[in-house]
Amino acid sequence: MVMAFTLSACIEEPKEEENIIISDSYIILESTIYATEVYTFESSIEGPTIMIVGGIHGDEVAGWKVALDLIERDDFTGKVIIIPRANYLATTLVSRYPGQDNNGLYDGIIYSDLNRIFPGKIDGTMTELIAHAIIQEVEKYQPDYIVDLHESKRSYASKISPLIGDEIIYGNSKSTFFAYDMVDLFNKQYLEEGDTKFAVDNSAPEGSFNNYCGNNYEAIVFTIETNRQLSLSKRITQQNQLIDILFKLAKENFI
Ligand SMILES: [Zn+2]
Q: What is the pLDDT of residue 5?
A: 47
Question: pLDDT at residue 11 above 70?
Answer: no
Centroid of ligand 1 to alpha carbon of 47 (angstroms): 28
Backbone angles phi, psi at 90, to 5 degrees: -60, -40
How many whole angstroms from 169 Cα to the centroid of ligand 1?
Answer: 11
CA 153–ligand 1 middle distance (angstroms): 9
Query: Among candidates 74, 93, 89, which has minimal Cα distance to 35?
Result: 89
Position 170 scores a pLDDT of 98
Separation of 178 CA from ligand 1 center, angstroms? 21
Separation of alpha carbons 171 and 215, rounded Å:
7
> How does DSSP classify residue 126?
H
Cα 165 to averaged position of ligand 1 atoms, centre (Å): 10
SS3 assignment, position 7: helix
CA 14 vs CA 21, 73, 82, 254: distances in Å: 21, 25, 33, 22
Type of residue found at 244: D
Q: Which amino acid is at 172?
A: N
pLDDT for 159 equals 93
CB 167 within 8 A of CB 202: no
Cα-to-centroid distance, 60 and ligand 1 (Å)? 6
Report the 10 Å Cβ neighbour count for 249.
17
Cα(20)–Cα(9) distance, integer angstroms: 28
State the Cα–Cα distance between residues 148 and 97, nearest whole angstrom: 16
What is residue 159's three-state secondary structure? coil
Please indicate whether residue 76 or residue 9 has the higher confidence score (pLDDT).
76
φ, ψ of residue 105 in degrees (nearest 5): -85, 120
Q: Over the stretch 82-121, which tens digit does the pLDDT of each residue have? A: 999 999 999 999 999 999 999 999 999 999 999 999 999 9
**What residues form DSSP beta bridges with 37?**
27
**CA of residue 56 to ligand 1 center, whole Å:** 7
pLDDT at 9 over 90: no
Cα 151 to ligand 1 centre (Å): 5
Could you tell me the pTM of the whole model? 0.93
What is the Å distance from ligand 1's center to 39 Cα?
21
How far does the centroid of ligand 1 lie from the alpha carbon of residue 41, in Å?
25
Task: Report the separation in Å between the CA atom of 115 and the middle of ligand 1, taken as the mean of its atom positions.
Answer: 7
Cα distance between residue 230 and residue 190, in whole Å: 15
Residue 109's DSSP bridge partners are 106
CA of 32 to the centre of ligand 1 (A): 23
CATH class of the domain at 17-253: alpha beta
Q: For residue range 183-226, what is the model confidence (pLDDT) as tens digits?
A: 999 999 999 999 999 999 999 999 999 999 999 999 999 999 99
pLDDT in tens, 133-192: 999 999 999 999 999 999 999 999 999 999 999 999 999 999 999 999 999 999 999 999
Pairing of strands 79-83, 49-54: parallel
- Identify the band that residue 16 occupies on the pLDDT scale cut at 50, 70 and 90: confident
Kindly compute the dihedral angle of the four CA atoms of residues 145, 148, 154, 156, in this order, to the nearest 10 degrees.
Answer: -20
Please say whether the beta carbons of 21 and 51 come within 8 A: no
pLDDT score recorded for residue 17: 83
Q: Give me the residue spans of the domains in the chain.
A: 17-253
